[in-house]
Amino acid sequence: MKIVHLWLKFQVLIIQLGDKKFRPYLSAEEIAWAVSRVSEALNEKYNGKQPIVLGVLNGAFMFCSDLVKTLTCGPEIHFVKVSSYEGTASSGNLSRLIGISAELKDRHVILVEDIVDTGLTVDVLRKELAAMGPASVEVATLLFKPDAFRGSQKPDYTGLEIPNDFVVGYGLDYNNLGRELPELYVIND
C-alpha cells in the first residue's frame, strides 16, 4: 500500500509540456532565495544611482517582477525583447534588442535575464547597449549554466549556477509552455 502511494505521488510530480516530461528542480522558496541574492548585491552596488532596469521579455518577466519589488536603489523599469534574425551565411544567427523606450545615455543600465546559457545573446546585447552611451551596463541573471558558457563576459550577478540541463518554469518556457509555473522543472530524460 505504501509503495503504491509513493509511486502515485511521484507520478503527480512529473509534468508533461508538449512532447517532453519534466521533474521538479527548484522550489518557489529556493527561487526566492536566489532572487534575494541578486537584489542584495544590486542594492549595494546601485545605492543612490537610480539605474535603468531592462527586463528581457519574455523569459525574464517573472524574475524581473519579483526582483524589482525588493530593489531600494530607485530603479526605472523598462522591458525589451530580443529579436533573432538570420544574418549572412558567414555570421549565422544574430540577435537584436528591440523595444527600448528609455534614454540610456549616461545612465547605469542593468540588463535582467532569466538565464545565461551559451552567453552569446547577452554578448550581442551588451555591445548594442554600450553603443547607446550609458554610464555602465551590467547583466543580472536568475540562472547561469557555466558548463554551456561560450561568451566573452560572465553575468555580473547570478542567482544560481545550474548544470547544463534544460529547465522550465518561473518565466522560462519549452515551446511557449510552462512559463506560468511558480517553480522550476528540469527535463526528465
* Measured distance CA(166)–CA(174) in Å, rounded: 9
Grid cell at residue 142: 536568475
Query: Any contact of residue 167 with ligand IMP (CB under 6 A)?
Result: yes
* Measured distance CA(137)–CA(128) in Å, rounded: 10
In the range 14-73, which residues lie near ligand IMP by CB under 6 A?
A: 59
Query: Any contact of residue 175 with ligand IMP (CB under 6 A)?
Result: no
Grid cell at residue 20: 517532453
Q: How far is the CB of 170 from ligand IMP (least distance, A)?
A: 10
Give the x/- contact pattern for ligand IMP in 104-133, rule: CB under 6 A: ---------x-xxxxxxx------------
Q: Which candidate, 137, 146, 145, places its Cα nearest to that of 54?
A: 137
What pairing do the DSSP bridges indicate for beta strands 108-116 and 52-57? parallel
**Which CB sits closer to ligand IMP, 35 or 172?**
172
**Which CB sits closer to ligand IMP, 119 or 134?**
119
| Binding region for ligand IMP (CB under 6 A) | 59, 113, 115-121, 166-168, 172
